[in-house]
Chains A and B, each alone.
Chain A
Amino acid sequence: MSNLAVLPIIVPLLAGIIAAFIPRKTTVVRIFSRVMTIVNLAIAMYVGFEVYQNGSIILETGGWKAPFGIVIVADMLSVLLVITTNIIGVACVFFASRSLTDKQESFYFYTFFFLLITGVSGAFLTGDLFNLFVFFEVLLMASYGLLVLGGNKVQFRESIKYILINLFSSMLFVTVVAFLYSVVGTVNMAQIAQRVQEVEQQGILTTIGILLFFVFATKAAIFPLYYWLPKSYIVPNPVVSALFGALLTKVGIYSIIRVFTLIFIHDTAMTHQLFIWLAAFTMIFGVIGALSTNNVKLIVVYNIIPAIGFMLMGIGLYSETAVAGSIYYLLHDMVVKGALFLLVGAIVALAGTSDLRKMNGLIHHYPVIGWMFLISTVALAGIPPFSGFVGKLLLLQGGLEQGNIAIVIVGLVTSLLILFSMIRIFIRGFWGEKDESFTPDKKKARAFAWPIGCLVAITIFLGVGAEFVYPIVADISTYLLDPSLYIDSVLKE
């Protein structure tokens, strides 16, 4: 049944609405939210299984035929991303009650959380450019609510910047959709792709494509549009940071993947060449930021930016290997960033400080957290048995195939610097003399460890079990590089 495709959007939306009825009964809402996220994960996995067996599911909402109504397109890429989103959702909802105060939980935390999941899943699944805008707004509105939850002075300051920059990019998005509509006369992505192909992407369409890229680049924090990200991601509660770091920028990069493998593909010398340059700068500037600070939260936040650079590099190279690398890296990065943000939240809560110079010998008190942090760090840097390796290998291989040595060198150096910036936390914070005066909170550490442990286990699976995951990713890459498959499945020609 085609209605299956819309369930990953509807179930969290319903859950969020129901949670809004009883905000004060924290225990009930907490249990309800946990159950609903697991139910939603199960549904997403079932949809994924169906798509894997029988190909893309196309839902024409309201029974209107494809270019006229809104279509929900569940193909393998979107479904994999929805499943990953829900895995992070489950980990975060189990972490939430441990890191939020009761008062913060009762102020509609779970409603905002579910609306964020709704927006992210919707953005992954939609096949309509204006509907993509609407889902962007859904997830951004929820993120504004989550960002100010708690009401500290710094949160207010950073949320003003965050809202201003996002309002600006949303306005630009609407303007660009208007431009595109006036040129091609449709907002259905498949039909836009078809019509852009018919006119072979003349100058005006390339301009619109670059403008659209700027919109998504602002959301995804690509050089030079990343300046808003670091400060606004460290001020909210750790669980909110984890949701933001794992999901929000990835929606931007997914939109870039979708739009620049489906619609604007006829002038790659212009657009995709630009991406490679921007990817190189994004990697360098992001990792310089990560090296510049002693604040553990800020180090992890800055590490989002080079990861985005890696994914953009794959789209810029635009070959089967490189796009597969981008997708693998995207999946890996969502999980590992979720794990790292939760870990850093736990470390800051347990050590009582976010300044690296004040931490010492934490591994004596919290061995489990320490080793999980080390695994996530080497996974992020791309050390072979773990998940970051496969994606990076494919990306570098794609770069070499096209003889683009410069970007390969930048990628390798960046990986080294990422490892250096992260391992600094492990060496300075976890190693060292045992501090006898420090009283560890073992019970809290155990409570923190469970949700993080699940994410770390999935990171290890993505690396060790690459043989299971890679064929799927390679299929997606082949599918993405042949846009006629997407167009035909939506427009049924």
Chain B
Amino acid sequence: MRTNDLILRTTTNLIAFILLAFSVYLFLAGHNAPGGGFIGGLMTAAAIVLMYMTYGFESVSKIIPINFRFLIPVGLLIAVLTGIGSFLFGAPFLSQTFGHFSEIPILGDVELATAMLFDLGVYLTVVGVTLTIILTIANDQ
């Protein structure tokens, strides 16, 4: 007998978006407030795991057609390349820089740092690792 999980599906639709938005907020807030790539990545993974639990593996992998295993090397590559990027400017490995950009629409004056790119690498790696672990165990026959 198929169980009717209407309540679970409806609340998931709502909560998954809140979770994703909060994870992006945490990821962006890392420089000046608690947060950062690691916790942001875990929160995103939590949101995606919630969707897997509600809708099942088949339908979610149709919506998010990413092999999460590839996110790990992608994230690592981004992180390492931001470190190597400093070679081009003759600065020591892993040097970071930042700049003020006032021309950005809507947001106005923003301070952007290259540390953010490193964090993006961490974020992608964490999402990749977490979901690879969970999905590999979940799909194990």
Contacts and interface: CB of A to CB of B under 8 A. Distances in A.
B72 interface: yes
Interface stretch (A54-62, A159-167, A296-304, A426-434): A54-62
Contacts of A484: none
B93 A17 contact: no
A17 B77 contact: yes
Contact of B95 (A1, A14, A18, A63): A63
A56 to B, nearest CB: 15
B94 A61 contact: yes
Q: DSSP majority for the A interface?
A: helix
Nearest to B93: A6
Q: Which of A2, A21, A59, A63 has the most CB of B within 10 A?
A: A63
B92 interface: yes
Given A21-B70, A21-B73, A59 B80 contact: no
A2 B84 contact: no
Given A10-B83, A10-B84, A21-B70, A3 B76 contact: no
B49 to A, nearest CB: 23
A60 to B, nearest CB: 6
A451 B115 CA distance: 42
Contacts of B84: 10, 14
B87 A20 contact: no
A197 to B, nearest CB: 28
A82 to B, nearest CB: 16
Interface in A1-55: 1-3, 6, 10, 13-14, 17-18, 20-21
B93 A10 contact: yes
B46 to A, nearest CB: 24
Contacts of B105: none
Given A6-B93, A63-B91, A20 B80 contact: no
A134 to B, nearest CB: 14
B92 A60 contact: yes
A2 B90 CA distance: 9
Contacts of A63: 91-92, 95
A3 B93 contact: yes
B96 A17 contact: no
Interface in B47-76: 70, 72-73, 76
A13 B76 CA distance: 9
B115 to A, nearest CB: 10
A61 B80 contact: no
B82 to A, nearest CB: 11
A59 B86 CA distance: 13
B80 A17 contact: yes
A13 B80 contact: yes
Interface in A50-104: 59-63, 72
Interface string B83-124: 110010011111110000000000000000000000000000
Given A2-B92, A10-B80, A62-B95, 11 more contacts: A1-B90, A13-B76, A13-B80, A14-B77, A14-B80, A17-B76, A17-B77, A18-B73, A61-B94, A61-B95, A72-B93
16 contacts: A3-B92, A6-B93, A10-B80, A10-B84, A10-B93, A14-B80, A14-B84, A17-B73, A17-B76, A17-B77, A18-B77, A20-B73, A20-B76, A21-B70, A21-B73, A62-B93
Interface of B: 70, 72-73, 76-77, 80, 83-84, 87, 90-96
* A-B residue pairs, 10 tightest by C-beta: A20-B73, A62-B94, A6-B93, A61-B94, A17-B76, A63-B95, A17-B73, A63-B92, A17-B77, A61-B93
